[in-house]
Structure 1
Amino acid sequence: MRQAELTDSKPRLGRKRDDSRDPEILDATLDVLAEHGYDGMTIDMVAARAKAGKATLYRRWPSKPELVLDAVACMKATTLDPQSLPDTGTLRGDLIAMIKAPTLRDAERKLKVMAGIVSMIARNPELADAARDALVEPRAALNRIIFQRAVDRGEISADVDIETLIGIAPAIVAYRTLLLQKPVTREFMISTIDTVVLPAAGVRPS
């Protein structure tokens, strides 16, 4: 058998998929989702934002829901490490120490992404858990630690409803960001802590 025939008879492997651009594509997905919502978002928009070919996206994510779920899940990976939580000795000090410019921007983006996928969740309720795990639970878990510390040192009563307390500030921020279309500043967050969250926890203003 000639060498050419031997060569032709060997199985030909397809081109290996390059996953190195996945983070850029998923980040672009979140941007488009936050700006246009799930229904307004298209694969073309994401491809253009990520400067990637549409075929590249479809090879990796055969459908829009799969792309969106991967993008939302990747937000969870950027969550703060519980070991890095501030420990100032007071509930007010800890809550204020958590207010940082990148954190505020990240929270605002997550809210817009959450608003963007509401229609998708309405059609697929089973996706609500995945969205909550990626967008809500990571920050809630950190706040539970902060409030539990306050309970442990006797600063607030052990009878307080921690789950309700950790939902107060996010609810106010969501209302301000999504309905009032106003920015969430450090000053606004400190005011919310002092006038709403701490009184709700039974902490008297100093």
Structure 2
Amino acid sequence: MTQIEQAEGKPRLGRKRDLTRDPEILASALDVLAETGYDGMTIDMVAARAKAGKATLYRRWSSKAALVLDAVACMKSNEIDLEDLPDTGTLRGDLIAMVRTPTIRDGERKLKVMAGIASMIARSPELAAAAHEALVEPRATVNRIFFRRAIERGEIPAGVDVDRLSIISPAMVAYRVLMLGKPVDREFLISTIDEIILPAAGVRSVDCR
């Protein structure tokens, strides 16, 4: 029994191997989770959203907790292709090249999912780990690549704390959405890059023209 299932007091049942509807059901679970939060979410809501029978869901997932854990974990499969990252020749150029409308929308959806599972994260280290891997680590990984490139070019000092720099943007975005209730737009992201991230990385002047 996993820790998240222990939190709900339900045993984990065996799963059948017909997984053909899993992606649709998991996507529906994420939509409901983002809209209602974990406590407000029900299996019935997910079944209705996915146009599936409730029995179909229970044959695959023994509890709401198990469904949520799989749904959050599956978000990692949609992460950015690390083999196809922009390489503009500058740290600022690389960071700004990632500020795209689809990326912004995806990031906001992920944050809504994170808000939805906040009530369970403290009770389930397993869910907390899955959330970190799916919602935070993909973008932090991209940022690490950009900072290491900048170090290799001599653009920023070799001694900068790459790991800490890499989570500034995800942390700022999360605070804006979850704590302030404000949307994330291109202007906010670029100002964060120019006014916070680049100075923290040791880039002394930025040509924003």
Whole-Å Cα distance in 2 between the matches of residues 150 and 166 of structure 1? Answer: 13
Equivalent residue, structure 1, for 2:125: 125
Whole-Å Cα distance in 2 between the matches of residues 38 and 45 of structure 1? Answer: 12
Equivalent residue, structure 1, for 2:193: 193
| TM-score of the aligned structures, taking structure 1 as reference length | 0.88
On the 8 A contact 2:140/2:166 being kept in 1, the answer is: yes
Equivalent residue, structure 2, for 1:162: 162
Shift of 1:192: 1.0
Question: Which blocks of at least 5 consecutive residues in structure 1 are unaligned?
Answer: 1-15
Whole-Å Cα distance in 2 between the matches of residues 189 and 142 of structure 1? Answer: 15
On the 8 A contact 2:147/2:162 being kept in 1, the answer is: yes
Question: Which blocks of at least 5 consecutive residues in structure 2 are unaligned?
Answer: 1-15
Shift of 1:17: 6.2
CA deviation vs aligned residue, 1:149-198 (integer Å, no higher than 9, x gap):
00111000011111111111111111211122221111211111111111
Whole-Å Cα distance in 2 between the matches of residues 63 and 112 of structure 1? Answer: 21
In the alignment, does 2:133 pair up with 1:103? no
* SS of equivalent to 1:126: helix
* SS of equivalent to 2:49: helix
CA deviation vs aligned residue, 1:118-146 (integer Å, no higher than 9, x gap):
22121122332222112211221111111
On the 8 A contact 2:141/2:166 being kept in 1, the answer is: no
For 1:30-109, what aligned pairs fall within 5 Å after superposition?
30-109=30-109
* SS of equivalent to 2:167: helix
The one-letter amino acid paired with 2:142 is L
Whole-Å Cα distance in 2 between the matches of residues 100 and 66 of structure 1? Answer: 33
Equivalent residue, structure 2, for 1:28: 28
Q: How many residues align?
A: 191
The farther-off stretch of 131-140 and 157-166 is: 131-140
Whole-Å Cα distance in 2 between the matches of residues 40 and 147 of structure 1? Answer: 40
Equivalent residue, structure 2, for 1:10: none
Equivalent residue, structure 1, for 2:7: none
Whole-Å Cα distance in 2 between the matches of residues 174 and 60 of structure 1? Answer: 32
* SS of equivalent to 1:77: helix
The one-letter amino acid paired with 2:82 is P
Runs of 4+ in 1 over 3 A off after TM superposition: none
RMSD between superposed Cα atoms in Å: 1.4
* SS of equivalent to 2:125: coil
Whole-Å Cα distance in 1 between the matches of residues 69 and 86 of structure 2? Answer: 31
Shift of 1:39: 1.1
In terms of Rg, which structure is larger? Answer: 1
Shift of 1:96: 0.3
The one-letter amino acid paired with 1:94 is D
| TM-score of the aligned structures, taking structure 2 as reference length | 0.87
